[in-house]
Amino acid sequence: MPRRAQAPRETLEDRWLLEAQTARNLEALAAEQAGRLDEAVALYERNVEEGFPGDLPYGRLVAIYERRAALDEAARVLQRAIDVFSSPANTRRTAQDRRATLRVFRNRLKLVEQQRRRAPQGP
């Protein structure tokens, strides 16, 4: 039976980044629940930009953007999530879990793309 390559060890800097991102997600959730959506979006966007390895900021941003009918932004965030979860460097989840998460994001991207095609075009 072939041996599985061992994942690179997590550095202290990686751990600090993950802790900061997790705190940001919690702060964003609180802002969202308090109705401070612009603040929540900014916090979620930072985690998306940094490639947070969990699905929360991507899903929350897409939900906000869909409510705002900002479908281009929703599609951008979904594509970023697909890129992050497709990366071989994303080892915090099992392969099976990553595949399931990718399936959800790809299906949601298809739905957003359909909405974008049906949306009336501006002047």
Q: What CATH number is given to the structural domain containing 113?
A: 1.25.40.10
What pTM was computed for the model? 0.86
Answer yes or no: is 2 within a domain: no
Cα–Cα distance measured from residue 97 to residue 103, given in angstroms and rounded to the nearest whole number: 10
* Per-residue pLDDT tens digits for 25-80: 999 999 999 999 999 999 999 999 999 999 999 999 999 999 999 999 999 999 99
The residues, any chain, with a CB within 8 Å of residue 40's CB and separated by 6 or more, are 28, 29, 31, 32, 60, 64
Domain count, the chain: 1
Cα–Cα distance measured from residue 98 to residue 92, given in angstroms and rounded to the nearest whole number: 9
The more confidently predicted of residues 80 and 122 is: 80
The domain containing residue 99 runs over which residues? 12-118
The predicted structure's pLDDT at residue 121: 66
* Per-residue pLDDT tens digits for 1-23: 555 555 567 799 989 999 999 99
Answer yes or no: is 3 within a domain: no
Answer yes or no: is 25 within a domain: yes
- Residue 11 to residues 7, 18, 64, 91: CA-CA distances in angstroms? 12, 11, 33, 14
Answer yes or no: is 28 within a domain: yes
